[in-house]
Structure 1
Amino acid sequence: MTPTRRQMLAGTGLAALGGALPSCSWAESPAAAAPNLFVGTGGHGHTFPGASMPFGMVQLSPDTNTVGWDASSGYHQSDRSIMGFSHTHLSGTGVGDMLDVLVVPATGPLKLVPGPVENPDAGYRQRYSDEHAEPGYYRVRLENGVAAELTVTERTGLHRYLFPKGPGHILIDLAHIQQDKPDEPTRIDEASLAIDADGTLTGSRRVFRWAAGRRIHFAMMLSRKPTSILFFGDNDAPAPAGAKGVTGNHLKVALVFDDAGTAPIQIKTGISAIDVKGARDALAEAPGWGFDRARRHAARGWSKMLDGVKVSGGTADQRAIMASALYHCFIGPTLFTDRDGRAMGLDQQVHQLPEGERANSAYSCWDTYRALHPLLTLVQPEQAGLFVRDLIRQTAESPSGPPVWPLQGFETGCMIGTHSVSILAEAQAKGIRADYAAAWPAIRLRAFDPTSKGSDATLGRDYYQNLGYIPADKVWESVSRTQEYSHDDWAMAHIADAIGAKDDATALRKRSLNYRNVIDPSIGFARPKFADGSWWTPYDPIQLGHMPKPWWRDYTEANGWQATFLTQHDIYGLIGLFGGDQGFEAKLDALFTAPSTLPANAPPDIAGMVGQYVHGNEPDQHAPYLYAYCGAPHKTQAMVRRLLTEQYHAAPDGMAGNDDCGQMSAWFVLSALGFYPVDPVSTVYVFGSPLFDEADVKVGDGKRLRIRATGNGPASPYVQSVRWNGRPWTKNWITHAELIKGGTLEFAMGPQPSQFGTARQDRPPSFGQAPA
């Protein structure tokens, strides 16, 4: 059984180094703020503060811990000691992996184990101070006196270490790995380390973690030749004197410098998932020893990306949150292509990509189809196109069909549904060019053949097709599966229509209404239903399932309250199940005002609660916008503004839950601009309450979207009227096609609710139809 992710549980010298570098444009513009890379590094945000390029392969960052849920990114600010600096990290996920090629700069006796967080002195851990992070650059001063700096190219990590006077050493710990428990068994094999004739240190390992069996290869060069090199094999057994390498499972190598403090020691490390050659090739991105040159290049790359969305108004903290959120939206999906165009496919074969194309990893589809990918189609359409074409290739290559949660060439099958089809359908509907027909055979197999090979993410497809729902006494998380498979049917129907498979489209569109079969109108909740057609009794919407064991939960990271509003594509059908607008509005009111109580077996993801609404997790993040469909858009406006100001902070614990590869951040960015894609496939954005007075957004092809909110302020969250390019706009929504034309979207704001958007003809369409 594949589990869901929650079941796997400036010092003076440093300041001088950075002071001569040019400032970036976000610091120069009065309409922009510097991102705070520490947002999400505390609490349960699971982000990291280290250096990366936008969507790059290397994420060079400090690791403070490798054990437990809050070590998913390798860093948590509360740990207060650093193990070292590794080259790959996941951003905001609920499961840990990566942390490849740990580099530990040290002085004093050689220590080969990090020691526990509780006792840094027991190993090579170091307390730290003067920590600083900005896009593409990180620095810190370790307790042992080493001043550490990090920057990156796309495929190469660059280190610069200034040691105190005297000897020192640099440990490369290839046994460093994410763990659920400190004493769990070995999860690495086929590891090797070798020093080549030209002084390049190379290595490889295979890791059995989340992406079980993934491989990483590296090539490392140093600016200074070490005095000696000491290899260590399994159980930290020293290799013979003069050894040029070592093989095994848990390997390490120490690079010893008798005079470490005489000059800075620079390191550059290229990585590849294919072979050592690919890692060596990556080093060409960082010629010579130009650390500052690489840092400037990284800063320019980030400046260009972040300058695509500028805002003014709000508070200084809100502008910093906006910049930080945008930054986190551009970390991934991460590059997974070597410089020569080779990439590892989900079929575990090496593929040569067409020129100009890129393969990527860490598609957190269950999370990011909701807001991150819609945001990218708006502000980074070229990058969105690269992702779409990559997902089409991965769909065709994968033995499991449309990707669920692909990571480093493996389908993890994490979470439920195959929401990559929603990403593809949305892109097609928005005019992003790609060969969607190439993905259709694998998508159709998943849609209509319940016996086809898949993952636990698609369990219960036979019941879903034959009964119209998944029975709670047959398959775990049955209610959420029924609902989310319905959304996937809606997305697949769109793709089928687009490629001319009209009969398939009709069948899928009809089947996308299966979600109705797990909503009991008599009590107004999404409710577990058994194979004989009976409902779970006595029903309690606070509970996660009808059995005590967690793998028989009936909802995915949710309970009955949140799952009741999970539907995104048939809102008027959902409203009908509650007797119409008034009944549905009352049910939404109840969601946001119910006591925020949870059962003892609730996962930690259910966080950031307002009543029984959960902002810290994804299933009902669109729910605040549903008021717009039942004629009460002012309640959407008030709740969205409340969430923007209460659920996000410019602090390490500034996220209500895991950032989940940018989804939490993307919700903020879009909502702060004033709109949100309740159903991404529809290409419709529903208006909310813009947070800032002005926004300037690049939307591709040299066009700009300007958003103004006149009369805006903390006490004025309500939309009074809207104008689009100077003309009155009565609809409470707008299409993607309109926004990408560029122009000016102007909101008039006020302290009291208005009648804007309440007329039936002005409400958003759903299921491809206007409100009845």
Structure 2
Amino acid sequence: MIVKKALGLLTFISYFSIAPAQQVQRKVDFVNPFIGTGAAAGLPGCAFPGPTVPFGMVQLSPDTKEEIDARPCSGYDYKASTIVGFSHTHLNGTGIPDLVDVLMMPTTGEIKTNAGTEDKPGSGYRSRFSHEQETAKPGYYSVQLLDYDIKAELAATMHAGFHRYTFPEGKPWNLIIDIDHTSKKGTKVRSARIIAAQIRVIDNQTIEGYRVMTGWAKLRKVYFYARFSRPFTSTLMQEGTFTYPDKKLTTGNADIKAVVTFDKTGGREVLVKVGISAISADNAKENLDTEIKDWNFDRIVAQTEDLWEKELSKMDIEGTTEQKQIFYTCMYHAFTQPNNITDVNGDYTAGDMTIRNAGKKEIYSTFSLWDTYRAAHPLYTLTQIEKTAGFVNSMVLHHKSYGFLPIWELWGSETYCMIGNHAIPVIADAIMKDLPGIDVDEAYKAVKETSMTDHVQSPISIWEKYGYMPEDLQSQSVSITLETAYNDWCVAQLAKKLNHMDDYAYFMKRAGFYKNLYDAKTVFFRAKNSDGKWLEPFNALEYGHNGGHPFTEANAWQYLWYVPHQVKELVHLMGNEKKFGDRLDRFFTYTDTSTKVNHNASGFIGQYAHGNEPSHHVAYLYNFSDRQWKAQFYISKILNEMYSATPQCYIGNNDCGQMSAWYIFSAMGFYPVNPANSIYNIGSPVLKSAVIRLDNGRSFTVKTTNVSKANCYIQSMRLNNKPYNKSYITQADIVNGGTLEFVMGNKPSTKKLINYTEPN
């Protein structure tokens, strides 16, 4: 499976080696921001190594490409040999690029305003670098820019970036501000096209500006306010192909850049503080002045590290060094987003692009919901209860301004990426778990109205007319049918909790529409046209590629298992537990390379593809078969073979923490197959112990005996010191506090575990 080696591996391992035994290690010591910055099985994890605070607006990180595309979309590729500069916003593990705003790059000597190319050193302002002279930890990043002999160091707060550059003696010291830095020039996947941009010199230590873009987010505005620790003696502005010495203002929509050259009096360090806002330069200044009041760079580094230590301390695990590095880095990646888009004064951009004020509340965006509803958001209900309420309330506000709940929201802007409306299970899950701080009536209104509203990825009028999505009327029809049926089940359960029984009956009927696309003859969910006839020819191995095909980034094998709300009914459709188990066996062992796979599919075990989300719950479905021990076998295999403490950790895109959340849950021994029923299915723990420290002051502990790669099979379990024989635990079991104990062995146990009863 995954190849556990990387460029510069010796340095990589050396840097993250364990400190002497007498030192007390913090959780942050195990976080490795380079995990996920490389490619596994040819697919990058799309992580960035630069500093950010938990759920922060700013992610200040190096970019290794001038044109940021989907491979990797984060801007940083571990195998690259040059750095273009350091921009202030980045996405974590997505499959589409955007952000990478306000790039800065220090240089010496001759001024160059174009980045140049990686294969031609000196052709532009980019610089070569080496992993041997590169360091990253939560809240801090540094690298030696070899072509200029400049040490670059980065730190971040919620709304601001902090740069510290140590220049060499001799040549002039320059800093390039590249507002044009984006994927504008000919890439297949565009992150943004600039509509308007400006850079303005306020005085010889202050510059502000903005850029307005259209791309993945259809309209996005970014303002910056930068203050320098020493004056600059000259400026150079670029507008398109023209350059203007000592000009104080430049405006345009292409190649908008500025270069400043510094006074070299008094030491070799130049510090730059940069406030970021989506509202105005004045707000960017206020953000900066509030969060970075002086020039103490090391204080900001320590402050951010402490913020991360607080978040990571919500879990305490025992395992191997590698397991700790993977686990705490997964937590780090899971808590990197959703992102707070509210300025310190409460201003934010609503879904209709109006400016509103949230008071003291934080409004969140960067909702990769098709991915994160599966495990990341259930994880937040255990570790981020207050933040979860903020996420839900932000989604409800989006509904108020935009007309329906977010699908894939970026910086407050709806991108319409992926299918369905998976804010619905996130909101339903939070309310079903009685999390505080949510206006339940407003949330239910948003959920119901969204479930009755047509949009491009969920045409409800067609859904209600046909009882399925016909492929001749809606592409990706099978995937949308299955996922909409699940969302409708979530609406029904929420309606039942709130005693809206007519709504409950209505949505439960819709929740069963998936059966209308089940073909008992082929034992697959298949596409039909509006005439009710099966779409021919049918190839269960054929992949969808985001349009023009019945399946979304998957094939019929992978979507066969997407009935998380009625797994027992799926067992019944296939015949019985034995036939269900036989079908799972075929799924995990059937290999065929004759059909081209989707570029998102990777991490294969038979037809199982761990590198993409539709497969993430499937190994746990063995719990509903007559061979439950196989769930333990395959889950252990995935944990041990498809994650590693290297840049190639993730077998596919991290997808805003979903790939990480899968590891966090599964390493502890359980996972939410149905992300909205408050139930976690038992798998195969790999950690010696894990403690979840809950907001209510209690803790839930998992302990294992005899656990190892070979000892992946559960021999017995105890919950709160009593024998336990169920294939699941509940949210209540966890939040009430207690201890779940596993005794592991190297041979399967034939003891049948009891499955939960699915709510109607």
- Under a length normalisation based on structure 2, what TM-score does the superposition of the two structures give? 0.93
Q: What is the match of residue 230 of structure 1?
A: 236
CA offset digits 1:413-469 (Å, max 9, x no partner) = 10000000110000011111211321334433332354xxx3x222x4222211111
Counterpart residue identity of residue 763, structure 1: N
2:564/2:674 contact within 8 Å kept: yes
Counterpart residue identity of residue 609, structure 2: V
Distance 1:550 1:366 in 2: 13
Distance 2:90 2:518 in 1: 40
Q: What is the match of residue 632 of structure 1?
A: 627
Distance 2:205 2:102 in 1: 17
Partner SS, residue 416 of structure 1: coil
Distance 2:443 2:701 in 1: 36
1:490/1:509 contact within 8 Å kept: yes
Distance 1:170 1:236 in 2: 19
- 1:201-240 equivalences under 5 Å are 201-233=207-239, 235-239=240-244
Q: What is the match of residue 424 of structure 1?
A: 427
Distance 2:756 2:504 in 1: 23
The runs of at least 4 consecutive aligned structure 1 residues that moved more than 6 Å come to: 23-27, 183-186
1:340 matched to 2:332: no
- 1:24-173 equivalences under 5 Å are 28-29=24-25, 34-43=30-39, 44-65=44-65, 66-129=67-130, 130-143=133-146, 144-166=148-170, 167-173=172-178
* Residues 74 and 734 (structure 1), Cα distance of their counterparts in 2 relative to 1, 3 Å cut: same
Counterpart residue identity of residue 756, structure 2: P
Q: What is the match of residue 3 of structure 1?
A: none
CA offset digits 1:670-728 (Å, max 9, x no partner) = 00011000001101001111111111221212221111011211211111221111112
- 1:189-204 equivalences under 5 Å are 189-197=195-203, 199-204=205-210
Q: What is the match of residue 9 of structure 2?
A: none
Which of 327, 342, 350 is residue 322 of structure 1 equivalent to? 327
Distance 1:180 1:371 in 2: 36
Distance 1:100 1:560 in 2: 39
Q: Which segment drifts farther, 625-634 or 168-177?
A: 625-634
1:39/1:650 contact within 8 Å kept: yes
* Residues 764 and 25 (structure 1), Cα distance of their counterparts in 2 relative to 1, 3 Å cut: farther
1:201 deviates by: 0.8
2:210/2:224 contact within 8 Å kept: yes
1:475 matched to 2:474: yes
1:609 matched to 2:604: yes
1:597 matched to 2:603: no
Partner SS, residue 681 of structure 1: coil
2:151/2:167 contact within 8 Å kept: yes
Distance 1:260 1:105 in 2: 17
1:244 matched to 2:275: no
Distance 2:23 2:197 in 1: 44
Which of 556, 561, 577 is residue 560 of structure 1 equivalent to? 556
Distance 1:501 1:120 in 2: 67
Distance 2:311 2:424 in 1: 27
1:194/1:246 contact within 8 Å kept: yes
1:419/1:488 contact within 8 Å kept: yes
Q: Which segment drifts farther, 680-689 or 741-750?
A: 741-750
Partner SS, residue 569 of structure 2: helix
Which of 437, 448, 451 is residue 452 of structure 2 equivalent to? 448
Partner SS, residue 680 of structure 1: coil
Q: Which segment drifts farther, 647-656 or 94-103?
A: 647-656
Counterpart residue identity of residue 451, structure 2: A
Distance 1:505 1:299 in 2: 47
* Residues 704 and 345 (structure 1), Cα distance of their counterparts in 2 relative to 1, 3 Å cut: same
1:392/1:436 contact within 8 Å kept: no
Which of 264, 269, 272 is residue 264 of structure 1 equivalent to? 269
Q: What is the match of residue 7 of structure 1?
A: none
Distance 2:32 2:390 in 1: 28
* Residues 40 and 729 (structure 1), Cα distance of their counterparts in 2 relative to 1, 3 Å cut: same
CA offset digits 1:36-90 (Å, max 9, x no partner) = 1111111110110000001111100000113432131111111211000000000
Distance 2:141 2:591 in 1: 43
Which of 565, 572, 576 is residue 568 of structure 2 equivalent to? 572
1:651 deviates by: 1.1
Counterpart residue identity of residue 547, structure 2: W
Distance 2:506 2:316 in 1: 44
CA offset digits 1:147-177 (Å, max 9, x no partner) = 0000111111000000011211000000011
Q: What is the match of residue 401 of structure 2?
A: 397
Q: What is the match of residue 368 of structure 1?
A: 372
CA offset digits 1:610-641 (Å, max 9, x no partner) = 10011000012100000112243211111100
1:24/1:303 contact within 8 Å kept: no
CA RMSD in angstroms, aligned pairs only: 2.2
Distance 1:720 1:98 in 2: 49
- Under a length normalisation based on structure 1, what TM-score does the superposition of the two structures give? 0.91
Q: What is the match of residue 414 of structure 2?
A: 411
* Residues 627 and 358 (structure 1), Cα distance of their counterparts in 2 relative to 1, 3 Å cut: same
Partner SS, residue 384 of structure 1: helix
Counterpart residue identity of residue 478, structure 1: S
The number of residues matched between the two structures is 731
Which of 700, 721, 733 is residue 705 of structure 1 equivalent to? 700
1:197 deviates by: 4.3
1:25 deviates by: 13
1:242 deviates by: 3.8
CA offset digits 1:262-304 (Å, max 9, x no partner) = 3200001010001111100111201110100000001111111
Counterpart residue identity of residue 34, structure 1: F
Counterpart residue identity of residue 63, structure 1: D
Distance 1:379 1:132 in 2: 29
Counterpart residue identity of residue 666, structure 1: A
1:513 deviates by: 1.0
Partner SS, residue 438 of structure 1: helix
Unpaired segments ≥5 residues, structure 2: 1-14
Q: What is the match of residue 15 of structure 1?
A: none
Distance 1:669 1:25 in 2: 26
Partner SS, residue 79 of structure 1: coil
Q: What is the match of residue 302 of structure 1?
A: 308
Distance 1:114 1:596 in 2: 44
1:165/1:261 contact within 8 Å kept: no
Partner SS, residue 71 of structure 1: coil
1:651 matched to 2:614: no
2:235/2:258 contact within 8 Å kept: yes
Counterpart residue identity of residue 201, structure 1: I
* Residues 746 and 607 (structure 1), Cα distance of their counterparts in 2 relative to 1, 3 Å cut: same
1:115/1:123 contact within 8 Å kept: yes
* Residues 181 and 603 (structure 1), Cα distance of their counterparts in 2 relative to 1, 3 Å cut: farther
Identity %: 37
2:205/2:229 contact within 8 Å kept: no
Distance 1:408 1:393 in 2: 14
* Residues 210 and 185 (structure 1), Cα distance of their counterparts in 2 relative to 1, 3 Å cut: closer
Partner SS, residue 69 of structure 1: coil
1:696/1:704 contact within 8 Å kept: yes
1:186 deviates by: 8.2
Distance 2:23 2:719 in 1: 31
Partner SS, residue 647 of structure 2: coil
Distance 2:25 2:577 in 1: 45
Distance 1:622 1:388 in 2: 24
Distance 1:344 1:438 in 2: 20
Q: What is the match of residue 524 of structure 2?
A: 525
1:50/1:59 contact within 8 Å kept: yes
1:631/1:763 contact within 8 Å kept: no
Distance 1:491 1:422 in 2: 6
2:192/2:213 contact within 8 Å kept: no
Counterpart residue identity of residue 757, structure 2: P
Partner SS, residue 393 of structure 1: helix
